Amino acid sequence: MSWHIAALWLCSVVILCSTENLRQRALTLMGETPLIDGHNDLPWQIRGLFNNELNTVDLHTLNNTHTNIAKIKEGRLAAQFWVAYAPCDSQYKDAVRYTLEQIDVIHRMCQKYPEDLMFAASSGDILKAFNQKKIASLIGVEGGHSIDSSLGTLRLMYQLGVRYLTLTHSCNTPWADNWLVDEGSHPAENNGLSKFGEQVIKEMNRIGMMIDLSHVSEKVMNQVLELSAAPVIFSHSSAYALCEHKRNVPDYLLQKVAHKKGIVMVNFYNNYITCSKNTTLLDVADHFDHIKKVAGYQIIGFGGDYDGVNRVPQGLEDVSKYPDLVTELLRRNWTDLEIMAALGENLLRVFKEVERVRDNSVQLRPDDLPIPSDKVQNPCRTPDQPVGAGSPVPVSPLLPALSLLLALLW
Ligand SMILES: *[C@@H]1O[C@H](CO)[C@@H](O)[C@H](O)[C@H]1NC(C)=O
Ligand SMILES: *[C@@H]1O[C@H](CO)[C@@H](O)[C@H](O)[C@H]1NC(C)=O
Ligand SMILES: *[C@@H]1O[C@H](CO)[C@@H](O)[C@H](O)[C@H]1NC(C)=O
Ligand SMILES: [Zn+2]
């Protein structure tokens, strides 16, 4: 063996060993801090593939999805916001029922696999599940159309365990505009957020529901960052500077999110990472680096969008691959402190602050002012009664006669 072949051999051993060490360090960190992912569409797959008939599905071995329980464990995924999503074409039809069924299937997932999944509805629940080595299972509703412009429906969804609402999906609601307005393919209808939209934000602050700005128009992002009393989240969005897609977050807004102590959970979808089909784990790591550089490690999280997209990067094929991404961040000199923040501490900070704002709002009354009825004129909605126009209580004609008879008998 000539000296330079020996040197080459030694060199690759060193590289292999250091990669092995980095991976070990990644796994150690993931054992100490829960990895919390902001966005997974497995419930949508369960509906699409199995009509929500969970009894016919084995979530341990399910193999035509990005997600199953075995892969979750391999990926050290500790907490997941499962998405209760109703497609935009259910708006003005059965979006609320559709959403309720998706909330139900998430609860049933937890009931069917109590050894593996634990339902979670608070920051404390996430840590409790982590300590019991179970996957904390939370619910996010993706799309404001799911509440059908009803604050009562919003409040009840909170009671059913929903802990974030994405204000829009890829359609306007009668009170907020979506990102396609910025692309020019949808008309602006609410000048960002309408008056009722502001009521929704304040009610979410009051009840302790996290506000998710993925999918909204840039104007709505700015308005909510001004208005919200609590920090906000982007449950699955990446950096606009690296891929100019309107679903991503521009640098000045990353800085506003940092100022608000919020979080941007990086979406892995190829189209949002490289704006092309060709994407690798390294490109995703670039988004983590960029956001850290522009706005600080305190605003970064993971929002893979697994099972919600038709393409994922090379090296991040399914939920078992998170440790590889963490290893890459360590290779890029991320410190343990920064890694732990991105894994879960940032989201826990936001969640606790949202809970604190809720707890400080006990003196506020539920908002019962409905959306103006001219904003929700559609044939699937029963018209509102004008206030004071309740129908009179019917009085039986027998009653006066009966009381007269009683009075006479007395
Ligand atoms: C995937 O699961 C199906 C149904 O359980 C099974 O028949 C099939 O062999 C599995 N495929 C692989 C590649 O594991
Ligand atoms: C994507 O990668 C493939 C194979 O690596 C290559 O043939 C193709 O040209 C690439 N496409 C783009 C748009 O870069
Ligand atoms: C990480 O830090 C080491 C030592 O300071 C340096 O040599 C290396 O270039 C850094 N790597 C990256 C990707 O920044
Ligand atoms: Zn989405």
pLDDT above 60 (res 13): no
Mean pLDDT of 223-250: 98
Is the beta carbon of 63 within 6 A of some atom in ligand 1?
Answer: yes
CA–centroid distance, residue 16 to ligand 3 (Å):
17
Is the beta carbon of 382 within 6 A of some atom in ligand 1?
Answer: no
Output b/e per residue, 21-30; b: 16+ Cβ within 10 A.
Answer: ebbeebeebb
Ligand closest to 49 (CA) is: 1
pLDDT above 70 (res 8): no
Atom number, ligand 2, closest to the C-alpha of residue 277: 13
Mean pLDDT of 278-298: 98
Helix axes 151-159, 195-207, angle to 10 degrees: 20
pLDDT above 90 (res 106): yes
Ligand closest to 168 (CA) is: 4
For ligand 2, mutation pick of 270, 278, 282, 314 (most atoms within 8 Å of CB): 278
Q: One of 66, 145, 236, 245 is an active-site residue; which one?
A: 236
CA–centroid distance, residue 275 to ligand 3 (Å):
28
What pLDDT, on the 0 to 100 scale, is given for residue 280? 98
Quick check: is 245 catalytic?
A: no
Q: One of 169, 245, 287, 290 is an active-site residue; which one?
A: 169
Quick check: is 169 catalytic?
A: yes
Is the beta carbon of 332 within 6 A of some atom in ligand 3?
Answer: yes
Atom number, ligand 1, closest to the C-alpha of residue 63: 1
The CA distances from residue 280 to 58, 152, 275, 301, 325, in Å, are 30, 44, 12, 18, 10
pLDDT above 80 (res 398): no
pLDDT above 90 (res 269): yes
Check the CA dihedral 187-200-234-135 and report its sign.
negative
Mean pLDDT of 6-22: 66
DSSP states of 164-232: EEES-SSS-BTTB-BTHHHHTSS---SSSB-HHHHHHHHHHHHHTPEEE-TTB-HHHHHHHHHH-SS--
Name the architecture of domain 34-362.
Alpha-Beta Barrel (3.20)
Domains of the chain, residue spans: 34-362
What pLDDT, on the 0 to 100 scale, is given for residue 386? 75
Report the chain's mean pLDDT, rounded to a whole number.
94
